[in-house]
Each structure stands twice: as structure tokens, then as C-alpha cells.
Amino acid sequence: MWTACDVVDALERKEINHLEVLESIEERYLAVNSVVNALPTTCFERAKDLISNDNENAISQRKPLLGLPVPIKDSYPVSGVRTSFGSLAFKDFIPDYSDFVALTLEKSGGVIYAKTNTPEFEAGASTFNEVFGITRNPWNAQKSTAGSSGGAAASVATGMAFIAQGSDFACSIRYPAAFCGIVGLRPTPGLVPQGPNRLPYQNLSVIGPLARNVRDIGLAMDAMVSFNPQDPLTSPNQQDGFRFAAASPEKPKNLGFSLDLDGLAMVSREVSELVLNGVGVIEKHGVNITYDCPDFKNADQVFRPLRAAQFAGMWSHVLKDSRALLKPEVVWNIEQGLTLDSVKIVEAELKRKEIRKNLLNFLDKNEFLVLPTAPVVANSAEDRFVTDIDGIEMNDYLEWLLLGYVVSLTGCPSISIPCGFSSQGLPAGIQLIAKPYQERRLLQVAAWLESVLDQTICVPIDPIPV
């Protein structure tokens, strides 16, 4: 029931101990996970061993988390813990190494106790797979959590986690945050180390945190941002002070806002109404709103080949060896990447450069851009993806992700915060986009927006098994 910051502060004052915190998480897991299926693999004994005996004193000195339990997405290896990538091809894989982000969190005092559910190879923005099944939305168990960090979002929303590690390629932190009524941050590429993997220089997919409030996001960023020389995108000149920034709300002077990217994106009537109401509240508090957005018209032409190329680079070896075990969307993406020629990739990169320039020029004038986080509230959990928006059919499983991946292409950080609930009680979110490496300023403004919109869940919710 506590915030992550409250738990860490109490640990530092020695008012509670690490085992009490971990046992409270385990108790909550036993009470609610059967409804939402967010944590398919747990390693509580590993976590208890880590905090027992002499290790506890070492953990107590590792700031900023000081022994806070943290789950890791099931697409990031943790040594000795089953890591499936959501794929039948890896359903029994137990790595003997940990991803850099897991090592970074442990170095920062995090105690890993579980893996969060994810779609196969993080593809599709709907959290289901053939290994563990569907992760369900705690606000209505018939609904989706989105993805691919759907297990992370549901675990945070229900109190099975204080903070969680997620990752975001097209929208994979922000959409689950919006669907589950919590906060999620996609950081600037290179702030949070990741790897080892087959494409260490890729910068479309980044790792970031999910939490129930902006201040806890700041704490998580203090723990996750690090330099690792084995990740070529990270830098020894790293930022810090994220928790402090998140605890220092500041009202912005100017914001840009677009509901649908000048008609590029389909946004449902439900979400449009909730987002417009939120923007109206912001405007009433004296913020100047520019109803405009940068030119993103080539985003779809850019993202599709670059995504396909990345899928081919990361997973073509699995397609070769285990094709029959992969879901059709993954096969489709990999095969698209394998048929690309260099001309298409070069064209996509040149257009991507223009999209980034357009957004940065816009942010020079407006400082931030506000968009809906996702175009719909949670769809059916049984859907493989959102197939239509207000009766208009989507051509494929990527089309409904446009609001997410236009930002991913630019390398700009974006935070999603709740902005209201539909008539069915399902959350919606807005995302706030800033210039690269402006995460501290972004957290300050997000904290102010959080206070004026007043939609953040203060305590975890009990899943609703409708």
C-alpha cells in the first residue's frame, strides 16, 4: 500500500526490514496474481537468500533502492531464473548471466523476485504468449493490459510491485501504463544500459520504469540510469537527481498539443473526450496551449522497415531453427526484415532524421508536446491486437501503435500519466514529450500535471474479475 519512496525511506531509517517488505510483496502476489497473471515466474527464495545473513548489510548500503523488491520483464535475462522471452522456443531457458539492466538494479540495491509477462519477443503490444497465457487488466479482467510491458504494468497497479522495469520499442511502456492507470517513462536512448544482445547499437528500443506516481518514477530512474562500457550507447557523463526533480513540480509556460497528429492517427471518441478534458484543465491553470504538432507524416514509412530490420537482426536465427514455434506476427516481422534492401533502410533513416528535426524545432518553441498515450481504452484481453477504432478497421497489428512509435523514432523521452476514466471505469493517459536528456525537467512538469489532473491511483487496486 506504500509508495516506493516511502518504503525506501523507511528502510533507510530502519523502521522496517527487507524481509518484511519482500514478504508483503509475496503475500500480495499470492492474493491477486491468479486473477491478472502478471508474474508468471517468481524467484522469492533467490531474493530471500540475497537479503539474508551478511548480504543484508551490503544491500542496506546500496542506494537508492536499499533493498526494494523489483521485478524484471521476461525478455531480459536474470541469472538462474527462467527467462522465456514469451516464446515456446525459450520456454525452458535458464540463463547463466543477467542483462545489464538487472545488474544495474541489483547494484542500486534492487532485489529481483519475479519476471513480468510479455508477448513473444515483445511484439504486438498485447500481453499474451503460448508459454504463460494472457495477462489481464486489473480494472476489468476481461480487458487487455496492452504491451509489451503489460505484466510490469499490472503488477504495479495491483501492488505486486512498487516499481517495475519495462522496455519501450513502439509504445511498450506507455500503452500498458495508460491501460492500467499508472505512470510509465520512455527515457532517452543510452540512459539505461541494456544487453548483451545481437544489436548493441540499436536505439529504437529503450528500457525504463513503471510506477504508480511520478516521484516513484524518479526513484526508479536514479536506480536504472548508469554507464556500462559494454553498452556503446551509454555515457560516463550520466544524469542523476531524478527523484529530487520529481519531488519539485513546476508548471510549464507553454505546451503543444495534438489529439491525432493532424489526422494521421485514429483516436477513439472515448479517449478524445478524456484527453480534451485533461487539456482543458491544464489550460485553466494558466498554461498556454498551442494546438499544433510537428510534421510526422512519414512516420509509418520510416518505422515499419526499421522495425522489420531490427526484428530480423535480433531473431532471424530463431526463425531458422524454430519457425513452427513462433507466432505469425513475429514471423511476419522477421521475414519483412530479411527481404529489405539497403536502399529502403537508407531512405527510412533519412526520413527519420527529418522527423526528429521537426519535433526538436517544435520543442524549441513549445518546450513540450502533449499527445494521447494510446488511441483506445483497454480492448478485450482475447484480442491479438486492436482490430478497429470506432468501427474503422486497422490494416494490421502495427497501425494502432502510431501514437507511440512517432515518438520512438525521434529519440525523445516521453512520460505517460493518467488523465481520466471511461464510462466503463477504464483508464486513459496522456503522454508528455520533451527534448532528449531533459528527463529531470520532464519529471518536474509531469509531477505538476499529475497534481492538477488528479487521476493517479494512490494505493494499489484489487483486480476486478469481471
CATH number at residue 281: 3.90.1300.10
Is 99's pLDDT higher than 90? Answer: yes
Closest by CA position to 109, among listed 237, 226, 210, 1: 226
Q: Which domain holds residue 236?
A: 4-300+340-453
State how far the Cα of 324 lies from the Cα of 89, in Å rounded to an integer.
9
The answer to whether position 307 is within a domain reads no
Average pLDDT score over residue span 142-147: 98
Are 311 and 337 in contact, with CB atoms under 8 Å apart? yes
- The grid coordinates of residue 395 equal 490494416
Residue 280 CB neighbours (<10 A): 11
State how far the Cα of 334 lies from the Cα of 314, in Å rounded to an integer.
9
Percent of the chain with pLDDT over 70: 99
Are 400 and 430 in contact, with CB atoms under 8 Å apart? no
Closest by CA position to 68, among listed 126, 135, 20, 139: 20
Q: How confident is the model at residue 144 (pLDDT cuts 50, 70, 90)?
A: very high
- pLDDT, position 56: 65
- pLDDT, position 59: 85
Residue 53 CB neighbours (<10 A): 8
- pLDDT, position 239: 86
DSSP secondary structure letter of residue 78: B
The answer to whether position 156 is within a domain reads yes
DSSP secondary structure letter of residue 71: E
- The grid coordinates of residue 67 equal 533493498
Average pLDDT score over residue span 250-264: 97
Give the model confidence (pLDDT) of 311-353 as tens digits.
Answer: 999 999 999 999 999 999 999 999 999 999 999 999 999 999 9
- pLDDT, position 55: 65
Average pLDDT score over residue span 401-408: 98
The answer to whether position 320 is within a domain reads no
Percent of the chain with pLDDT over 90: 95
- The grid coordinates of residue 352 equal 527519420
State how far the Cα of 49 lies from the Cα of 46, in Å rounded to an integer.
5
Q: How confident is the model at residue 18 (pLDDT cuts 50, 70, 90)?
A: very high
Contacts of 374 (CB under 8 A, 6+ apart): 146, 171, 174, 175, 178, 179, 271, 403, 404, 428, 429
Peptide bond before 148: cis, by omega within 30 degrees of 0? yes
| Residue 32: burial class (beta carbons within 10 Å; 0-12, 13-18, 19+) | buried
65 HSE (CA, 13 A, CB side): 27
Q: Across all residues in the chain, what is the average pLDDT?
A: 96
Q: How confident is the model at residue 54 (pLDDT cuts 50, 70, 90)?
A: low
The answer to whether position 333 is within a domain reads no
Is 447's pLDDT higher than 80? Answer: yes
DSSP secondary structure letter of residue 25: H
- The grid coordinates of residue 367 equal 518546450
Give bridge partners of residue 206 from the DSSP assignment. Answer: 168
- pLDDT, position 456: 93
The answer to whether position 39 is within a domain reads yes
The answer to whether position 373 is within a domain reads yes
Average pLDDT score over residue span 46-65: 84
| β-pair type (369-372, 254-257) | parallel
The answer to whether position 362 is within a domain reads yes
In total, how many domains does the chain have? 1
The answer to whether position 330 is within a domain reads no
Are 413 and 175 in contact, with CB atoms under 8 Å apart? no
Is 366's pLDDT higher than 90? Answer: yes
Does the reported pTM lie above 0.85? yes
- pLDDT, position 397: 87
State how far the Cα of 194 lies from the Cα of 292, in Å rounded to an integer.
35
